Amino acid sequence: MDVDVLVVGAGPAGSTTARFCAGDGVDVLVIDRRKEIGYPVQCGEMLPHVEEMYTIFPRSEQLEELFTVPPQLVDGESDHVDLVSPGGRTYRCCFKSHILDRRSFDKHLAKLAVDAGARLETDTSFLGLKDDVAETTMGPVKAKVIVGADGPNSRTARQAGLRNPGLRYPAVTCQAKGRFDPAVKMYFGNVAPGGYAWTIPKRGGANVGLGFDPKVFKGSPREAFDRFVGKLDCTCEDVTMGIVPMSGPVPSTVMGNVMLVGDAAGQAMATNGGGIPTAMIAGRIAGRTIRGHLKGTCALEEYERRWKEVMLGPLRTSVRTRRMADMVFGSDRLLGAAMFALGRRGLDRAIRCKGVLL
């Protein structure tokens, strides 16, 4: 099979890339190994409001085009994030966000891509590259451009000679039934060594999860998760495990005719784990760059310059803040003292990917 563009992965990064490069004669094929787009859910489902994203990424433009979310895809709203220290002290930061029905949200993004002219094949895996031809479970696919949007363990990246994110945190999440405080909560300390646990309230319950630094905690992710959930008055459904890239963007996101987008490129915010906004911002840039490349107006490498202009500064700041936190994450006493020293203002800046030392 010959196509113009092969997109590997139909999450927010892949579907958004496909949406913005499909149509006008550009033949785009999106493949995803899952039988159902959006399931299982492997994230906290929290999407910052547009005004928050302009604050985090002030060089971005026309974000309303990406993040105007249909009401039926929203399971809750939150105006605050409560950061809870190891000793139980709570620092409340104003931060407006939608709580998504991620299962439906991903389907919505895939539909936008299909409506734009892309083709979608589920239950289809990328196996490797051979002589510039993608081997898949539906047969060989020859593409002018291949997009790796297949997560932090991206096989597309490895096959193309690109790097996966160096630091990847194990994460366990579930859909919990029960009564929860209406604010998003992030818990730090030995509940999730080197990372944090969360409860993100939504209709009928919450998204509950935990992620940690494997260098700090060598135990079982599921056992740590079960201990955390055991302290909550809830029942869990659809427990899943995933990986969150926390080391910042990979050194290069383009190699030959292959480009990386979203978690595959390490384009996640290291101080809060958020990857949906960055995946979609980069996906739009990737899609538009691909269209220009196929029309002969720009090289694929232009993608790297464009996404870095918008996102690299905040993402690098986020990584620096995480590295500073690593110095105290091994001790609940030091972590609590550091959170107290930063105070609400410093912690507020951290979750917005801004420097905490003025």
Domain carrying residue 70? 2-351
- pLDDT reported for residue 358: 52
Question: CA 197 to CA 211: how far, in whole Å?
Answer: 6
- Tell me, yes or no, whether 330 lies in a domain: yes
Report yes or no on 165 lying in a domain.
yes
Per-residue pLDDT of the chain (358 residues; tens, 9 = 90+): 999 999 999 999 999 999 999 998 999 999 999 999 999 888 888 999 999 999 999 999 999 999 999 999 999 999 999 999 999 999 999 999 999 999 999 999 999 999 999 999 999 999 999 888 999 999 999 999 999 999 999 999 999 999 999 888 999 999 999 889 888 999 999 898 888 999 999 998 999 999 988 888 888 888 899 999 998 988 898 899 888 999 999 999 999 999 999 999 999 998 888 899 999 999 999 999 999 999 999 999 999 999 999 999 999 999 999 888 888 888 999 999 999 999 999 999 999 999 886 5
Predicted local confidence at residue 238, as pLDDT: 86
For residue 356, being part of any structural domain is answered with no
Which residue in 347, 331, 358, 351 sits closest to 86, CA to CA? 331
pLDDT for the residue 129? 93
- Residue 191 domain-assigned (yes or no): yes
CATH number of the domain that 259 lies in?
A: 3.50.50.60
Q: Would you say residue 246 lies in a domain? A: yes
**Alpha-carbon gap, residue 69 to 63, rounded angstroms:** 11
Domains contained in the chain, number:
1
pTM across the whole model: 0.94
Between the CA atoms of 285, 114, 153 and 249, what dihedral angle is there, to the nearest 10 degrees? 10
* Domain presence at residue 357: no
pLDDT of amino acid 159: 96
b/e map 275-293, b = 16+ CB within 10 Å? bbbbbbbbbbbbbbbbbbb
202 is a domain residue: yes
pLDDT of residue 217: 84
Q: Is residue 254 part of a domain?
A: yes
